[in-house]
Amino acid sequence: MSAPNQEGAPFRAGMIALCGRPNVGKSTLLNALMGADLAVASRLPQTTRERLLGLWSTDEFQAVLVDTPGIHRARSPLNRFMVDEAVRGATGVDLVLLLAEAPMLTDIELAEAWEPGEGALAALATVVETGAPVVLVLTKIDRLKQRDLLLPVIARWAALHDFAAVLPVSALQDEGLAELRTIVTGALPESPPLYDVEALSDRDMRWHAGERVREAIFRHLKDELPYSCAVTIESFKEQRKPPKDVIRANVHVERESQKPMVIGAAGRTIRKISMDARSAIAELTGRSCDLFLKVTVTKNWTKDPELMARLGYHQPVGGES
């Protein structure tokens, strides 16, 4: 039994996974629900590579929000790792939020004929297999001119699965989030906290710092280049006087030819990446920071599970969840 809070109600805690195809807005929604910029989001698909737990704790409950990589047809070892992480993130949770973009439809005929795509159906099949109740969250509704065109879309989705609820939201415009928070907290079983109630996530600041560098890479590099980059933190020192973090990180690329593209003419690109990442890290830690980036070639790392593991992309071994 968990200890009752002041009102005498027992404490509740549970896991809520955010799942769906790449780019549907999972990380943005996690940040909006948490009211903190924890998860890296970008305009490019396949931004999130690893499971991240966002810990939303109050005196009454702890909701462990699980951000997951997008579910997609994986070809490379890195992509297979990502999809495995997504499945791991959705397994054993109390509720899955299946996110799908609200389609941008312009007339009722199109809306009535609308069908979810293959990728969205595959994501649905994957989360249904976990056996957890599923809430369908239709995202980015701020982009829609005519909201009533969502009704036939909702009806089509509802015919595919017995969803616990269907909810249209906009994470960026704070629409539907109060309802979603009610659904999330309502799904938490009676339980003591699962994680430290003071912590915001299950990852340490080193990991978050690496993610901020990756976020800046996704913002400043073009085409396939962000997908060839990984970031490792070589050292993270908390200096006392004056108080600041001194961070040295490696940006790994797959091929020699990619190195000058990441560095840019006269180092301009890597400087932009560094400046963006530095201010994002400072915002997260509340301390100033010095960030030193080095670009390293780790040949074909996305295709080699051993190299991937060395760069941090490995599933836990043994019974660890």
Ligand X SMILES: Nc1nc2c(ncn2[C@@H]2O[C@H](COP(=O)(O)OP(=O)(O)OP(=O)(O)O)[C@@H](O)[C@H]2O)c(=O)[nH]1
Q: Which stretches of the chain bind Mg ion, using CB under 5 A?
A: 26-27, 47-48
What is the full DSSP assignment across 41-77? --SSSS---S-EEEEEE-SSEEEEEEE-PPP----SH
Q: Which is nearer to Mg ion, 38 or 205 (CB)?
A: 38
Does position 143 interact with ligand X (CB under 6 A)? The reply is yes
Q: What is the DSSP letter of 11?
A: P
User: Least distance (Å) from ligand X to the CB of residue 227?
Assistant: 11
User: Least distance (Å) from Mg ion to the CB of residue 20?
Assistant: 9
Does position 126 interact with ligand X (CB under 6 A)? The reply is no
Number of residues this chain uses to bind ligand X (CB under 6 A): 23
Q: How far apart are CA 248 and CA 278, in angstroms?
A: 11
Does position 70 interact with ligand X (CB under 6 A)? The reply is yes
Q: Which is nearer to ligand X, 22 or 54 (CB)?
A: 22
Which of ligand X, Mg ion, none does 24 bind, CB closer than 5 to 8 A by kind? ligand X
User: Least distance (Å) from ligand X to the CB of residue 41?
Assistant: 3
Which of ligand X, Mg ion, none does 72 bind, CB closer than 5 to 8 A by kind? none
Q: How far apart are CA 125 and CA 142, in angstroms?
A: 27
In the three-class reduction of DSSP (H, G, I as helix; E, B as strand; rest coil), residue 13 is classed as: strand
66 token code pair: 């699980």
Does position 138 interact with ligand X (CB under 6 A)? The reply is no
Q: What is the DSSP letter of 240?
A: T
In the three-class reduction of DSSP (H, G, I as helix; E, B as strand; rest coil), residue 38 is classed as: coil
User: Phi and psi for 187 in degrees, rounded to 5?
Assistant: -90, -5
Q: State the residues that interact with ligand X by CB under 6 A.
A: 22-28, 41-43, 45-48, 69-70, 139-140, 142-143, 170-172
